[in-house]
A and B are shown apart, each in its own frame.
Chain A
Amino acid sequence: MKHLFLSLALLTSAAAQDTSLHEYLSDSEPWKEAASGYAFTDGLCVDEAGNLFFTDVKGGKGIYKLDAASGKVDLFLDNLPGISGLQIGPDGRFYACHNKEQRVIAITMKGEVEVLHSGVKCNDLVVSKAGNVYFTETPTQMIHLITKDKKHIVADQGHVAKPNGITISPDERTLVASEHGGKHVWAWHIEDDGTLTGGAPFMTMWLPVGKETASGDGATTESKGRYFVTSELGVQIFDPAGRLSGIIAKPVADGKVVSCEFAGKDHDLLFVAAGDKLFSRKLKVTGYFR
Chain B
Amino acid sequence: MNRRLILLTALAAAHLPLIAAQQDDQYVLGPDSQEKADVPKGEVIQMPAWKDSKIYPGTTRDWWIYVPAQYKKETPAAVMVFCDGAGFVKRDGQFRVPNVFDNLIAKGEMPVTIGIFIQPGTFPTSNPKEKARSNRSFEYDSLGDLHARFLLEEILPAVAKDYNLTTNPDERGICGNSSGGICAFTVAWERPNEFRKVISHIGSFTNIRGGHVYPALIRKTDKKPLRVFLQDGKNDLDNQFGNWPLANEDMAAALKFAGYDYQFVLGEGTHNGKHGAALLPDTLRWLWRK
The answer, among B5, B131, B137, for a CB contact under 8 Å with A241, is B137
Question: A201–B261 Cα gap in the complex (Å)?
Answer: 35
Return chain A residues, CB-CB under 8 Å to B240.
20-22, 245-246
Question: A244–B240 Cα gap in the complex (Å)?
Answer: 9
Return chain A residues, CB-CB under 8 Å to B155.
none
B134 pairs with A241, CB closer than 8 A: yes
Please encode chain A, from 194 to 224, with 1 for each CB lying within 8 Å of some chain B CB and 0 for all others. 0001111010100000000000000000000
Instruction: Say whether B57 faces chain A, with CB atoms less than 8 Å apart.
Output: yes
A residues 224-245 near B (Cβ < 8 Å) are: 240-245
Instruction: Say whether B221 faces chain A, with CB atoms less than 8 Å apart.
Output: no
Return chain A residues, CB-CB under 8 Å to B5.
1, 4
Binds A, one of B8-16, B106-114, B169-177, B223-231: B8-16
B133 pairs with A189, CB closer than 8 A: yes
Question: A22–B19 Cα gap in the complex (Å)?
Answer: 23
Q: Nearest CB to that of A5 among chain B residues? A: B8
Question: A204–B209 Cα gap in the complex (Å)?
Answer: 7
B126 pairs with A192, CB closer than 8 A: yes
A200 pairs with B126, CB closer than 8 A: no
Number of interface residues, chain A, beta carbon within 8 A = 31
Return chain A residues, CB-CB under 8 Å to B133.
169, 173-174, 187, 189, 240
B residues 37-69 near A (Cβ < 8 Å) are: 56-59
Return chain B residues, CB-CB under 8 Å to A153.
none
Question: A7–B11 Cα gap in the complex (Å)?
Answer: 13
| A22-B240, A197-B58 as given contacts; A242 in contact with B130, CB under 8 Å | no
Question: A174–B125 Cα gap in the complex (Å)?
Answer: 11
A200 pairs with B16, CB closer than 8 A: no
Question: A199–B56 Cα gap in the complex (Å)?
Answer: 9
| A4-B5, A20-B239, A243-B209 as given contacts; A197 in contact with B57, CB under 8 Å | yes
Instruction: Say whether B150 faces chain A, with CB atoms less than 8 Å apart.
Output: no
Instruction: Say whether A253 faces chain B, with CB atoms less than 8 Å apart.
Output: no
B209 pairs with A198, CB closer than 8 A: no
Return chain B residues, CB-CB under 8 Å to A169.
133
Instruction: Say whether B31 faces chain A, with CB atoms less than 8 Å apart.
Output: no
Please encode chain A, from 10 to 24, with 1 for each CB lying within 8 Å of some chain B CB and 0 for all others. 010001001011100
Chain A interface, >50% SS class: mixed
Return chain A residues, CB-CB under 8 Å to B131.
171
A242 pairs with B138, CB closer than 8 A: yes
Return chain B residues, CB-CB under 8 Å to A21.
240
Return chain B residues, CB-CB under 8 Å to A22.
240
| A15-B16, A189-B58 as given contacts; A243 in contact with B123, CB under 8 Å | no
Q: What is the minimal beta-carbon distance from B151 to any residue of chain A, in angstroms?
A: 17
A4 pairs with B209, CB closer than 8 A: no
Q: Nearest CB to that of B2 among chain A residues? A: A1
Instruction: Say whether B24 faces chain A, with CB atoms less than 8 Å apart.
Output: no
Q: Nearest CB to that of B18 among chain A residues? A: A11
B241 pairs with A204, CB closer than 8 A: no
Return chain B residues, CB-CB under 8 Å to A244.
209
| A197-B58, A198-B59, A204-B210 as given contacts; A242 in contact with B123, CB under 8 Å | no
Question: A159–B200 Cα gap in the complex (Å)?
Answer: 34
Question: A257–B71 Cα gap in the complex (Å)?
Answer: 61
Instruction: Say whether B266 faces chain A, with CB atoms less than 8 Å apart.
Output: no
Return chain A residues, CB-CB under 8 Å to B241.
243
A8 pairs with B134, CB closer than 8 A: no
B130 pairs with A171, CB closer than 8 A: yes
Instruction: Say whether B136 faces chain A, with CB atoms less than 8 Å apart.
Output: yes
B56 pairs with A200, CB closer than 8 A: yes
Question: A11–B208 Cα gap in the complex (Å)?
Answer: 19
The answer, among B12, B56, B123, B141, for a CB contact under 8 Å with A8, is B12
A173 pairs with B125, CB closer than 8 A: yes
A residues 245-273 near B (Cβ < 8 Å) are: 245-246
Question: A58–B247 Cα gap in the complex (Å)?
Answer: 48
Q: Can you list 8 pairs linking A and B with CB atoms under 8 Å apart? A: A4-B5, A5-B8, A171-B131, A173-B125, A200-B56, A200-B135, A204-B209, A204-B210
Mark A residues whose CB is within 8 Å of B.
1, 4-5, 7-8, 11, 15, 18, 20-22, 169, 171, 173-174, 187, 189, 192, 197-200, 202, 204, 240-246
Known: A8-B11, A169-B133, A241-B136. 10 other contacts (CB 8 A): A1-B5, A4-B8, A4-B12, A11-B16, A15-B16, A20-B240, A189-B58, A189-B123, A204-B142, A204-B210
The 3 residue pairs across chains A and B that have the minimum distance between CB atoms? A198-B58, A20-B240, A189-B123
